[in-house]
Homo-oligomer: A and B are copies of this chain.
Amino acid sequence: MALIVQKYGGSSVGTLDRIHHVAQKVIAAKEQGHDVIVVVSAMYGETDRLIRLAHGLTPHPEPRELDVLISSGEQVTMALLAMALNARNCPARSFTGSQLGILTDDIHTKARILEVKTEVINRELQKGSVVIVAGFQGINANGDITTLGRGGSDTTAVAIAISVQAKECQIYTDVDGVYTTDPHLVQEACLLPQISFEEMLEMASLGAKVLQMRSVELASKYNMPIRVLSTFSTGKGTLVTIEDKTMDKRLVSGIAFSREEAIISVSGIPQQTGLEGLILHKISEAHIEVDMIAQHTSSFNTIHFTFTVHRREHDKALKIIEKLAVDLKATSVNTNARIGKLSLVGIGMRSHTGVASTMFQALGAAKIPIQMITTSEIKISVIIDEVFLEQGVRIIHQAFELDKLPQTQEQVFIE
């Protein structure tokens, strides 16, 4: 018996049948003796429909009013779920962000939660009700409705879980949990029973889009365990939590990858200080986000500077760099918009040498040329030609035997 927060995403509540299904899952948790707080997203497609309405009116809708508009989507879902529960004699009451007291800053369409009031939650839980909360929304100090940005319902759920000191925050979605890599690509990919917050942050920012990153950051800060699991199956999913001893047995947790990359390099720049800052300043001025960065100085004291950007920014970035290359007296600019990024993530690699060499040897044996490398404490990323990406993921998955997960990671599942 515990206090748990469950969050159901848009596809989990996308139809009336699915809302009935969610109601059954909530009742199952109640019948186990748990107190349950449920955070819901808008029904699948609803937020997009509302945004289309706004953009049908005006290309730049007023942000305050956009938040008023799109926050209505979650209000619909929460009422429907409360009805479905009450119809099954399970007392439930729904609350908007405003009614519950989810206080945020003033930044419309991407507000940050400042505080979650617990009075309403505690009152309703004491009555034995399931508390249903609209995800993705809050109010600012002025009483205006705010929204948290795409995927914000995950953050709502984690913030509530922290404020009421829940046992865990369960994020129900349409996948079974977090895998060692994309199971669509590698059939042998394994579901990870457990992963650390840090690994999850590295995995997700690299393309394993299971959880909103802000929610993982928040959970990590307050050490709130998140469980990612499927609405449509009965598995225990993946527990995202602080690093524990059992995790040390794994060198590598998973392989993330992304096809949306482009690489740009400037070669033969005469050495000068402040060069790197100058290049990145010009790029960021154009609101282009840079991902990987590598730099080395050649034996002739000229500098080679390489970075990657999202593929859709390639042309814009190239224009800036070509102009800059003239000023910097660089000898050449090379780009490739048909590359992919492959990243190995694992807390275990921190204290083990040899992970990088195993990775590079495996790629070398398969004759896959590496165009760029960056490393961090728990991640190694390489840029390779896009045509080699899928093969590369499979080879690395095999090289680290990720299809054979250690069995030491069993943990208690709150159900």
Contacts and interface: CB of A to CB of B under 8 A. Distances in A.
A38 to B, nearest CB: 13
Number of copies: 2
Contacts of A16: 53, 56-57
Given A56-B16, A57-B80, A57-B83, A69 B75 contact: yes
Nearest to A52: B16
Interface residues of A, number: 37
Contacts of A53: 16, 76, 80
A11 interface: no
Interface in A319-342: none
A75 B58 CA distance: 18
Contacts of A93: 64-65
B65 A79 contact: yes
Interface in A41-70: 50, 53-54, 56-58, 60-62, 64-66, 68-69
Interface in A73-120: 75-76, 78-80, 82-84, 86-87, 93-94, 96, 98-99
B75 A72 contact: yes
A68 B76 CA distance: 7
Contacts of A250: none
Given A60-B87, A62-B82, A87-B57, A143 B72 contact: no
A106 to B, nearest CB: 14
Contacts of A310: none
Closest 9 CB pairs of A and B: A69-B79, A58-B87, A68-B79, A72-B72, A62-B86, A65-B82, A61-B83, A65-B79, A72-B75
Interface of A: 16, 19-20, 50, 53-54, 56-58, 60-62, 64-66, 68-69, 71-72, 75-76, 78-80, 82-84, 86-87, 93-94, 96, 98-99, 143-145
27 contacts: A16-B53, A16-B56, A16-B57, A50-B76, A54-B83, A57-B84, A57-B87, A58-B83, A58-B86, A58-B87, A61-B86, A62-B83, A62-B86, A64-B82, A64-B93, A65-B79, A65-B83, A65-B94, A66-B79, A66-B83, A68-B75, A72-B75, A72-B79, A75-B75, A98-B98, A99-B143, A99-B144
